[in-house]
Chain A
Amino acid sequence: MAPTSGATSDETVEPLPPEYAELSNGEWFLVGSRCTECGSKFFPETLICADCTSRAMERTHLAREGTVYTKTTVALAPEGFEAPYGIAWVDLPDGPRAFGQLEDSDNVAIGDRVVVTVGVIRRNRDGRAVAGHRFRKIS
């Protein structure tokens, strides 16, 4: 599954891989950190635990599904982004409140259940597409 959703059909450059998500058994997971001392989980990855300051952090896959805490649709986009696009804070059952773009933002409401997916979220100055994690409503 290539992260090409949102790329134009004549895209010749493969999008940069998403930084904060990875594919496992055909499903996208957010990549975060788990503190091996106290168990707290963070998104995105962090070198140090904000709860106990331990550096014994391990990479971990976070829950795929969460609940929208709040969302908005951005209509005036900065360079590299294509408006309108949705963004949200999503509460994950294992602790973090994760940021990310929303698919089909107009049809997502606060309190909706969403699942992690991946698509093109912006373009670099050279025009190259950048893939990133997004959230999609579970219908």
Chain B
Amino acid sequence: MDDVVILGVGMTRFTKTPERSVADMGQEAVLAALRDAELERSQVEAAWCGTELSHPGVGQRVLKDIGMTGIPIVNVENACASGSTAVQSAMAAIKAGMCDIALAVGVETLSGKPGLITEDPTTDVMWGSGWLLPSFYALLTQQHMHRYGTTREQMARVAVKSHQNAMHNPYAHFHKLVTVEEVLNSPLIADPITLYQACPTTDGAAAAVLCNEKTARRFTNKPVRIAASALTSGTLKTRAAAVEEMVSRAVQKAYEQAGLGPSDIHVAEVHDAFAPGEIMAYEDLGFCAPGEGGEYAERGLGEIDGTGVPTNTGGGLLSRGHPLGATGIAQLTELTWQLRGQAGQRQVEGAKNAIALNMGGTVFELEANACMITILQA
């Protein structure tokens, strides 16, 4: 079966733009991806739109004003993994022979919405007991600290690095350095997570144009191949015997699909909605052994010029920002730029294999709603 490649990527700057609509932002990203792919709008045969909180029909709203409706359009919700799930859906349709060229776009506007995303506490039992996304991560983190001795300073190092990397990313929300002390002394959200270890409220959109490898040869000399795409959902964590394994299952599946292992990866984008997430991702992706993620951060192995795998070179969710439905595609956009050697001052020299970890969680009785692992190859 033909492989699927990314022909073009594009994104808006991730920032707070309350005056812009979801459609407006989505259109900017779509047109940027088409320009990057050197394609006409009419060459796109189908589209998938990832969003978590936008209104129904958002893909149609994005595409109607740029004359791209008429084709199949599907809206995809998979919590904060909606964007990467849209990419996988487009890929699957191409592999199935339903189309040759497909679009995936992810959009979200969060400014104007409450900073703490909540379900209705009167109808959802977990939210009704005071669970929130930061506290969900804080509970995982406390267990990690208890089991492995992971420290607050190690987590703060993740936030410091993310801000450093974002300085060189014109699309990032923050262009400001922070110190370990500033991270630790910022207001507490849910112990041990402080404000600077939490992603900001961000608006944004990102898009990718996909096609099969044969078609790609007509358009580009620099296709980025999707070498693996593995999605899992979480199992019930309301059992005393529950184990956290949805991420490792997806990672193992992805490495098998690609015929690669952790030592083959040159650059990574991981889900640091909260700083400890990156420490756990180092372990889940096999960059280090379980329990050694804190030390990996402390030694700076994930930095762009570190000796490990440069991680979140674009600033990650912490500093690029996390417009939920757009994030998964923004990760793949950054990795595509890295694999083509277009990442400017944050370029990882000679990067050939890249991995993305995108999580989504709102159903707190589960490990998480979704974990998507994507491996891209130059």
Contact = CB atoms under 8 A, between A and B. Distances in A.
Nearest to B135: A74
Nearest to B188: A75
A114 B138 CA distance: 20
B139 A20 contact: no
A135 to B, nearest CB: 11
A132 interface: yes
Contact of B132 (A20, A70, A78): A78
Given A93-B240, A99-B131, 10 more contacts: A19-B125, A20-B125, A72-B141, A76-B134, A89-B237, A91-B240, A96-B240, A99-B238, A110-B146, A121-B128
Given A42-B238, A97-B239, A72 B142 contact: yes
Of the candidates B118, B191, B364, the one having the most CB atoms from chain A within 10 angstroms of its own CB is B191
A96 B364 CA distance: 15
A100 interface: yes
Contact of B187 (A43, A75, A79): A75
Q: Main secondary structure on chain A at its contact with chain B? A: strand
B125 A73 contact: no
A77 B130 contact: yes
B195 to A, nearest CB: 8
A96 B239 contact: yes
A110 B237 contact: no
**Interface bracket on A:** 35 or more
B121 interface: yes
Given A87-B129, A98-B238, A121-B129, A70 B143 contact: yes
Contacts of A121: 128-130
Given A44-B125, A69-B240, A97-B239, A87 B139 contact: yes
Given A43-B238, A73-B190, A87 B142 contact: no
Interface string B74-111: 00000000000000000000000000000000000000
B242 A97 contact: yes
A111 to B, nearest CB: 8
A76 B189 contact: yes
A6 interface: no
Contacts of A96: 238-240
A73 to B, nearest CB: 5
Interface in B138-162: 138-143, 146
